[in-house]
Amino acid sequence: MNDILPDEAGLWLWFEDVVRDWLESYGYRNIRMPLVEPTALFKRAIGEVTDIVEKEMYSFEDSLNGDQLTLRPEGTASCVRAVLQHNLLYNAPQRLYYSGPMFRHERPQKGRYRQFHQIGVEALGFAGPDIDAEMILMCARLWHKLGIRDVVLQINTLGDLAARHRHRDKLIAYLEQHKDALDADAARRLHSNPLRILDSKNPAMQEIIAGAPRLMDELDDEALRHFEAVQAILRRHDVAFEINPRLVRGLDYYNRTVFEWVTTRLGAQGTICAGGRFDGLIEQIGGKPQPACGFAMGMERLLALLQEDGMENPPPPLDVYLVHQGEQANALASVVAEQLRDTGLKVLLHCGGGSFKSQMKKADGSNAWCAVIIGDDEAAAGQVTLKPLRGGEQQRIALAELPRRVGELVNKE
Ligand code: ATP
Ligand code: MG
C-alpha cells in the first residue's frame, strides 16, 4: 500500500478533474459507497471460485459484534448493493460512477498494489448493445483526451447462460482428457470454474487452452446479434478492436460483451481498463432481474502510462507569496493575505520569520505569480511592494490597489 506524496498528487488531482469532466459529458452521476461491506456480499457477487475471493480479500471480524467484513476489492458489488438498498432502479435506469481505493492481497509489483485506485462506471437497467458500445467509445475518448496511444481494444462475447452451460460441459470433457497437463489452479477449477482456466497466464497451459472447445461456436442467435451490433457501432466510430476469444470472466452472471484495453508498455500488468455486461448480477445480489454493464480502470496504471509519456506533476497553483518582516508589517501581512483570498487569490503567507533575503528565496521557488513584500516602512505608509516573479519590475503601490494589481498580473496569461 503506497503513500501518494505531494510531488505526485498534483497529477492525480489533474487526472481526477479530466475524468470527472469526461464522465459528466456522458451523463454519468457520482455515487460513493463505504470501503467496507459484509464479506458475504463479495462472495456472492464475485463468486467463491475466483482469485479475489479465494486469496485476495482483506477480511476481518468486527471485534465489537462479530460481523464478518471485507475491505472492498472492487466496486461493482457495493454499487449494486447500494442501488438496490435505496431502490434507485425503481423509476429509471442509472448511469453511475465512483472512484477510490480498492484492496487486494496480491504480490506487490509494478502496476499491482494492495491498495490501488479504480474508476468504476456502471450502467444499470440497460439491455441493448448501444450501451456496451457507448462504454467502449467513452474509453476511446478518454484515451484521446489524455493523449494515451498504444492501447489495444480486445472484445469478446460470453453469450448467454444456456450456451455457456453447453460450452462448459464440452470444456470439462476436453480438459478431463488432458488432466495430467493441468496446473494446480486449473485442476482445482476444473469443475467449479472451468471457463476461468482459459484465462490462465501459465505458459505451460497455453497449448491445451489453444485447442479447447470455443464458446463462440455455441452462441445463440440473439447473443450473436448483440455482439454484431456492438461491433457495428464501433466500426461506425472507427474504433479499432481485436476479437479475443480467450477473454473471459469466469462467473455465471457475466454474459455477452466483455472488453479490455491493453497496452504493451507496462510490462505484464498491461490491462488498464476492463469491463463487460453482467445481466445476472442484480438478481444474484437479491434484486429483481435487471440488465447491467460496466467497466473499471486502474488509476495507477493509467498514471504510469502518462508518466512514461513524460507527463510531470503540475506545480502547486499559487498566486501570491507574501513576504513580511517587522512587528507592524507582520500584523498587517495576515490581514492582507485574508483580503487577497477574499478576492479568490491563492496566497501563501510566509511563516517562521527570517531575513527578507531568505524569504524572497522561498518566494522565487514557490511557483507564485508574484511576491508581495511588506516591511515596517511600507506598513507605516499604507503601501506594499509588488514584485512579479515571472518577469517585470517591482513597484511600490498603495495597499488599496493591491487586489486589482495582483489580479491583473495573474490573469495576464
Ligand atoms: P489482473 O488480470 O491484472 O489481475 P483483474 O482482472 O484482477 O486484473 P479487474 O478486477 O478487472 O482486474 O480490475 C480492473 C482494473 O483495475 C484492471 O484492469 C487494472 O487496471 C486495475 N487493477 C486490478 N488489480 C490491481 C492491482 N492490484 N493494482 C493496481 N491496479 C489493479
Ligand atoms: Mg487480479
Q: What are the extents of the domains in the chain? A: 6-160+219-308, 320-408
Q: pLDDT tens digit string along 268-291?
A: 889 999 999 999 999 999 999 999
For the residues 355-372, what does the mean pLDDT come to? 96
State how far the Cα of 332 lies from the Cα of 322, in Å rounded to an integer: 11
State how far the Cα of 118 lies from the Cα of 296, in Å rounded to an integer: 6
- Exposed / middle / buried, residue 365 (Cβ in 10 Å: 0-12, 13-18, 19+): exposed
Which of 51, 55, 71, 116 has most ligand 1 atoms within 8 Å of its beta carbon, as the pocket-test mutant? Answer: 116
Nearest ligand 1 atom, CA 106: 27
DSSP strands (E only) in 291-363: 292-298, 320-325, 347-349
Nearest residue to 320 (alpha-carbon basis) of 371, 384, 358: 371
Task: Enter the C-alpha cell of residue 61.
Answer: 471480524
Point out which residues pair with 397 in neighbouring strands: 384
Q: pLDDT tens digit string along 367-377?
A: 999 999 999 99
Which of 51, 98, 112, 297 has most ligand 1 atoms within 8 Å of its beta carbon, as the pocket-test mutant? Answer: 112
Report whether pLDDT(391) > 70.
Answer: yes
Which of 4, 42, 118 has most ligand 1 atoms within 8 Å of its beta carbon, as the pocket-test mutant? Answer: 118
Nearest residue to 305 (alpha-carbon basis) of 73, 15, 13, 22: 15
Give the SS3 label for residue 325. Answer: strand
Cβ-contact 320, 370 below 8 angstroms: yes
Q: pLDDT tens digit string along 165-219?
A: 999 999 999 999 998 889 998 998 898 888 888 888 889 998 999 899 988 899 9
Fold for 320-408, please state it.
Rossmann fold (3.40.50)
| Nearest alpha carbon, ligand 1 atom 25 | 112
Residues of the chain with pLDDT > 70, as a percent, come to: 99
| Nearest alpha carbon, ligand 1 atom 16 | 298
Taking domain 6-160+219-308, whether its CATH number is 3.30.930.10 is answered by: yes
Helix (H) or strand (E) holding 411: helix 402-411
DSSP state of 89: T
| Nearest alpha carbon, ligand 1 atom 8 | 271
Distance of CA 52 from the midpoint of ligand 2 (Å): 7
Q: pTM value?
A: 0.91
Distance of CA 112 from the midpoint of ligand 2 (Å): 9
- Strands 151-157 and 242-243 come out as parallel
Distance of CA 14 from the midpoint of ligand 2 (Å): 27
Q: How far, in Å, are 62, 185, 206 from residue 182 at the CA level?
A: 39, 8, 10
Ligand with the closest atom to the CA of 249? 1
State how far the Cα of 200 lies from the Cα of 69, in Å rounded to an integer: 29
- Residue 398: the pLDDT is 96
For the residues 311-319, what does the mean pLDDT come to? 89
For the chain, the average pLDDT equals 94
Q: Which residues line ligand 1 (CB under 6 A)?
A: 74, 104, 106, 111-113, 116, 118, 269, 271-274, 296, 298, 300-301
Ligand with the closest atom to the CA of 196? 1
Count of beta carbons in the 10 Å neighbourhood of residue 193: 22
State how far the Cα of 13 lies from the Cα of 6, in Å rounded to an integer: 10
